[in-house]
Amino acid sequence: MNDNTLILAHYYTEPEVQKMADFVGDSLDLAQHAQREKPSRIVFAGVRFMAETAKILNPEAEIILPDAGSSCSLVEQTDIKALEEWIRQYPDHKHVMYINSSAKMKALADVIVTSRIVDDVVAAEYADGNEVIFTPDRNMGAYLNQQYGYNMPIWSAVCEVHEKFKAEELERAMRGWTDGQKFILAHPESPLPVLDMADYIGSTKGMLDWVKNHPSRHSTIFVATEEGLLYNMRELRPELDIRQAPTYSGCQCNQCPYMKLNTVEKVKAAADFGIGTKIDYLTDEDIENALKPINRMMEYA
């Protein structure tokens, strides 16, 4: 292994992969850590847009994605030409874009956000007198519009993991027994009917902190996000009954297929031998254009 190799892993990767990492976090944590450490090589056990963000923030570093297929449904569902045409309909709006987007998508934005800072950033844009468009996550944009009374035009992509959570199944699960307190935590990529039921809505880090600081030792907590985060929650609070929110009758397992491509073997091959997909295809122009809205994100963060 290169002595200056940094292994980063997202909370949604398998526990065994997280244990290999030098640092585990959500999208914002990982971007900040990559920028702060400035290693010569980063093995990114996450998805492609995260590795691209690391490259944009560390253009001199070698960035390796263990599996070429580690994409994101929000990217896969967005045709860049169609997005450009859609943006042109709103020439006087500020374009706020969720970080789950490719480098070429980010180059079209005014500011990038994560789920942890999106509320503050959009509020700040409106406070400055700006109209806002929001991409690419339809559910997150709909939540912001409902929660704060905005009227933002929003793009139509969804996270295929969070989109599967069903309010009616969650309601049924919540009625299943009567002892003890029950709570629902939800990521803002979830559909509005699920978010309407939630006791807390927030980022992966926000939900993790909620569980960490939860005062009761006898609660059942349903979590509407990728199942990988439940490992971290259970490590923090093994005495709590932490369950993934259901998607349809009988199913309590909802994984991101892209994150799960980061196997122990592939991460080890990337770290030891540099095997994997190198993020070396971004042009100087790609990096320069995407860096501007990313830097605005880092300022807010």
Condensed to tens digits (0 to 9), the pLDDT of residues 165-196 reads 999 999 999 988 767 899 999 999 999 999 99
Write out the residue range of the structural domain in which residue 40 sits. Answer: 5-71+259-280
Number of domains in the chain: 2
User: Quick one: 228 and 188 in the same domain?
Assistant: yes
User: Quick one: 238 and 263 in the same domain?
Assistant: no
Residue 66 lies in a domain: yes
Residue 180: its pLDDT value, please? 83
User: Quick one: 208 and 236 in the same domain?
Assistant: yes
Q: What are the backbone dihedrals phi and psi of residue 242, each rounded to the nearest 5 degrees, phi first?
A: -105, 120
CA 28 to chain centre: 8
Residue 298 lies in a domain: no
CA 230 to chain centre: 15
CA distance 261 to 276: 12
Q: Which residues of the chain have a pLDDT value below 50?
A: 251
Helix (H) or strand (E) holding 233: helix 228-236
User: Quick one: 170 and 236 in the same domain?
Assistant: yes
User: Quick one: 267 and 226 in the same domain?
Assistant: no
User: Quick one: 167 and 213 in the same domain?
Assistant: yes
Residue 102 lies in a domain: no
Note the pTM of the prediction, 2 decimals: 0.94
Query: What does each C-alpha distance from 149 to 1, 122, 142, 170, 202 come to in angstroms?
Result: 51, 12, 10, 26, 18
On the CB side of 114, how many CA atoms lie within 13 Å of its CA? 24
Residue 191: its pLDDT value, please? 97
Angle value at C-alpha 186, between 149 and 222, nearest 5 degrees: 145
Those residues with Cβ within 8 angstroms of residue 54's Cβ, 6 or more apart along the chain or in another chain:
8, 30, 31, 34, 42, 44, 61, 63, 279
Nearest to 150 by CA among 131, 172, 129: 131
CA distance 196 to 208: 20
- Beta-bridged to residue 8, according to DSSP, are 23, 44
User: Quick one: 176 and 219 in the same domain?
Assistant: yes
Residue 299 lies in a domain: no
Residue 209 lies in a domain: yes
User: Quick one: 263 and 199 in the same domain?
Assistant: no
User: Quick one: 219 and 187 in the same domain?
Assistant: yes
Residue 249: its pLDDT value, please? 52
CA distance 298 to 106: 14
Residue 154 lies in a domain: no
Q: What is the CATH number of the domain that holds 171?
A: 3.40.50.10800
User: Quick one: 192 and 266 in the same domain?
Assistant: no
User: Quick one: 230 and 268 in the same domain?
Assistant: no
Residue 145 lies in a domain: no
Nearest to 252 by CA among 229, 269, 228, 227: 227
Residue 89 lies in a domain: no
CA distance 203 to 201: 7
- Beta-bridged to residue 157, according to DSSP, are 137
User: Quick one: 198 and 234 in the same domain?
Assistant: yes
